[in-house]
Structure 1
Amino acid sequence: MNKQRCRILHPGHGEHVTILFNFNLIIFFAFASLLSKSSMSATSKEAAFVRFDAALSNISKKSISFGKSLLSTIEPFDTDDKVKSTGNGIILPMYVYVNNRPVPKAEAVVSVFDHGFLYGDGVYETLRVYDRVVFMLDEHLGRLYRSASLIRLTMPKNFDQIKAALYETLDVNSLENAYVRITISRGHGPIGLDPDLCKEPTFVIIAEDMKDYPQSYYEKGIKTVIAQTKRNLKDALNPQIKSLNFLNNILAKIEAKEKEAYESIMVNASEHIAEGTISNIFFYRDDILCTPSIACGILDGITRRLILDLAVREGLTVREGEFTRNDLFAADEVFLTNTTMEVMPVCKVDAVRYGVGSVAKLLRKVYRDEVRTYVESIKGSGPSLLGI
């Protein structure tokens, strides 16, 4: 890049200062001028500007200020929303997708009369993004639709519309590796349980940088307890519904925190092991990989299902069934699974200790390999409406 030095008189000190003039400024100003005249939405303009701004790492703060002034149609940054740094001094504002568009974090609000807020009436899904690819996206959206169907909630968007909204949210936040939560509530309406009081669902996507779990968790395992709080009866509340009403799990999580553990393992009314507050549980005993069956009243986790398939592929003997806490205490190793933690070893359940075993290490490795293959496959399929 062509550069040249020049000398200017510092306005307040009467002395000459040598500065570096960079022809990147010309490109920068031209881009800002063109963008300000574009028909793009204000949100898209701002996102495009910030990404371009971040790419020019040698631009002075004065030039950045001047460039932004050219974008008269773009809303100013709110310092309370500046949550992500690009690493070169550029701070990116956070956007949340609400109903039909991304909005700055400070404007991402829902009504106090929203039935998701009042009654926990809604569904959600958690997803993980690797290198701008949402892992097992169709499976997650399929489960989201299933949850909505089970509570008689009409989805406000179809598959392709949700995908487009999701990738727009990732794009406007300049995210490559992210945690994503899609939340759909019944919507706002008068106080009362009647679903027909709500005329239109509320649709929200939150996407944030994926903050990896501490490496020590994978190397040494995490502590868990068996909660006194029982898992909801499956005949009372279908566990296949990923509901916004999470109080059952929250009460069990409180127990874990009170005992300085990371996670609680919940049992069902028959005292059979069910699942964690945010995870499915596996244990290895007598050369058999065991996990509670769906009949125990658990969520059929997408990661759980994949781990079962990978275990069979690796030649492990797998058993889904009903297990007691004594079965768990007698295990050689224990681990948890979910979308974000992937395969997480357990070092302690109540007073019983375990080592981080070879089975957990193997399945974590093949899971990561599966993720890598999936991402490469999606990227290798060519351009799409998702912009991958």
Structure 2
Amino acid sequence: MSSQIYINGQFFAEDEAKISVFDHGLLYGDGVFEGIRIYGGNVFLHGEHIDRLYESAKVIRLEIPITKEEMVKAVEETVARNNIDDGYVRLVITRGAGSLGLDIRRTSNPQVIIIAATISLYPEEYYHEGLQLITASTIRNHPQALSPRIKSLNYLNNIMAKIEATDMGCIEALMMNHKGEVSECTGDNIFIIKDKIVKTPPTDAGILEGVTRNAVIKLAREAGYEMQETTLTRHDVYVADECFLTGTAAEVIPVVSIDGRQLGDGKPGPITHELLKLFQELTRSSV
């Protein structure tokens, strides 16, 4: 059966779900989005994702035409209509149709689009065997040019780094910021573990403040680990005992090598396993 796509209060079959070719989301990447997981039919960390969506929209002066409460209900109805038990929601807000120019005053009717589907970002074996990463030559956008805390429709920066990864036979790449510090990966936040201390770059390193990232930081602290949001270099990653990535779609996935350097014993480490287990328990507790 065809998926039911929500667009501005109405549901359409996949082949009938359309927006204008003059929408500035298409023409200029002018809009924001969220990716949200579904576990057992329930939308995971729903409030946190909706809050971030509205914050991103506010920063780019995009007025979402429905309230947060209405958005929550719209997402839940989309999930229910598509009978998704375990899956993923892509929530997109575009600037709306306008003229061939950058002036937002010449646009109207922002589009609220909600897609609910199943997802498998990485093959299952990578969660048991770990990922291999390369460092991309493409750096993260300068935070004074475009704040990485805005989850915008313009992902070309990430895509260029992803191309580098796939060209090298990897499926993810580490990105540095304009100061040469560790930022994040093309679609995930990065954590390392050294001497049982869990570390991750701070928000001012040019990262998206991930909802899953924040959940894992809380889990690590509750489990009794020292948790540091601190500046990291490639050297810190190379000599780490363990490394893992977090993201809504990726969840928690181990990394076992970067730029040809083996991390630890080349296998997912015990603290990574523990945090993955705790995160899985958290997702089940929401069901």
Structure-2-length-normalised TM-score: 0.96
Which residue among 274, 278, 284 is the counterpart of 1:366?
Answer: 278
Please state how far the C-alpha of 1:120 moved relative to its aligned partner: 0.3
Kindly provide the amino acid, as one letter, of the partner of residue 219 in structure 2.
L
Q: What is residue 196 of structure 1 aligned with on the other side?
A: 105
Kindly provide the amino acid, as one letter, of the partner of residue 145 in structure 2.
A
Q: What is residue 7 of structure 2 aligned with on the other side?
A: 98
Larger Rg: 1
Matched, 1:111 2:20: yes
Q: What is residue 219 of structure 1 aligned with on the other side?
A: 128
Kindly provide the amino acid, as one letter, of the partner of residue 361 in structure 1.
H
Q: Deviating runs (4+, > 4 A) in structure 1?
A: none
Q: What is residue 228 of structure 2 aligned with on the other side?
A: 319
Q: What is residue 264 of structure 1 aligned with on the other side?
A: 173
Please state how far the C-alpha of 1:171 moved relative to its aligned partner: 1.9
Please state how far the C-alpha of 1:212 moved relative to its aligned partner: 6.7
Matched, 1:341 2:250: yes
Which residue among 171, 177, 187 is the counterpart of 1:278?
Answer: 187
Q: In percent, how many aligned pairs have the same letter?
A: 42
Query: Going by fraction, where is helix more abundant, 1 or 2?
Result: 1
Task: Please give the alpha-carbon distance, in whole angstroms, between the structure 2 residues aligned to 1:109 and 1:241.
Answer: 25
The residue correspondences of 1:20-31 to structure 2 (distance < 5 A) are none
Q: What is residue 133 of structure 1 aligned with on the other side?
A: 42
C-alpha distance 249-298 of structure 1, shift in aligned 2 (>3 A): same
Task: Please give the alpha-carbon distance, in whole angstroms, between the structure 2 residues aligned to 1:148 and 1:330.
Answer: 39
Q: What is residue 243 of structure 1 aligned with on the other side?
A: 152
Task: Please give the alpha-carbon distance, in whole angstroms, between the structure 1 residues aligned to 2:134 and 2:102.
Answer: 35
The residue correspondences of 1:1-388 to structure 2 (distance < 5 A) are 92-211=1-120, 213-354=122-263, 355-375=267-287
Please state how far the C-alpha of 1:213 moved relative to its aligned partner: 3.8
Deviations 1:184-222 (A, max 9, x none): 010001111011111110111111123374321111001
Q: What is residue 378 of structure 1 aligned with on the other side?
A: none
Task: Please give the alpha-carbon distance, in whole angstroms, between the structure 1 residues aligned to 2:132 and 2:34.
Answer: 26
SS at match of 2:97: coil
Task: Please give the alpha-carbon distance, in whole angstroms, between the structure 2 residues aligned to 1:364 and 1:269.
Answer: 31
Deviations 1:115-162 (A, max 9, x none): 000000000000000111000100000000000000000011111211
Please state how far the C-alpha of 1:320 moved relative to its aligned partner: 1.1
Structure with the bigger RCO (C-alpha within 8 Å, sep 6+) is 2
Task: Please give the alpha-carbon distance, in whole angstroms, between the structure 2 residues aligned to 1:237 and 1:211.
Answer: 29
Task: Please give the alpha-carbon distance, in whole angstroms, between the structure 1 residues aligned to 2:147 and 2:174.
Answer: 19
Task: Please give the alpha-carbon distance, in whole angstroms, between the structure 2 residues aligned to 1:128 and 1:267.
Answer: 27
Kindly provide the amino acid, as one letter, of the partner of residue 37 in structure 2.
R
Structure-1-length-normalised TM-score: 0.72
Is the Cα contact below 8 Å between 2:213 and 2:247 reproduced in 1?
Answer: yes
Kindly provide the amino acid, as one letter, of the partner of residue 189 in structure 1.
G
Task: Please give the alpha-carbon distance, in whole angstroms, between the structure 1 residues aligned to 2:256 and 2:8.
Answer: 42
Kindly provide the amino acid, as one letter, of the partner of residue 147 in structure 2.
N
SS at match of 2:286: helix
Task: Please give the alpha-carbon distance, in whole angstroms, between the structure 2 residues aligned to 1:254 and 1:329.
Answer: 22
Which structure 1 residue ranges, 5 or more long, are not aligned?
1-91, 376-388
Task: Please give the alpha-carbon distance, in whole angstroms, between the structure 2 residues aligned to 1:260 and 1:285.
Answer: 27
Task: Please give the alpha-carbon distance, in whole angstroms, between the structure 2 residues aligned to 1:211 and 1:351.
Answer: 26
Cα RMSD between the aligned structures? 1.1
SS at match of 1:169: helix
Task: Please give the alpha-carbon distance, in whole angstroms, between the structure 1 residues aligned to 2:119 and 2:139.
Answer: 31
Deviations 1:211-241 (A, max 9, x none): 3743211110011111000111111111110
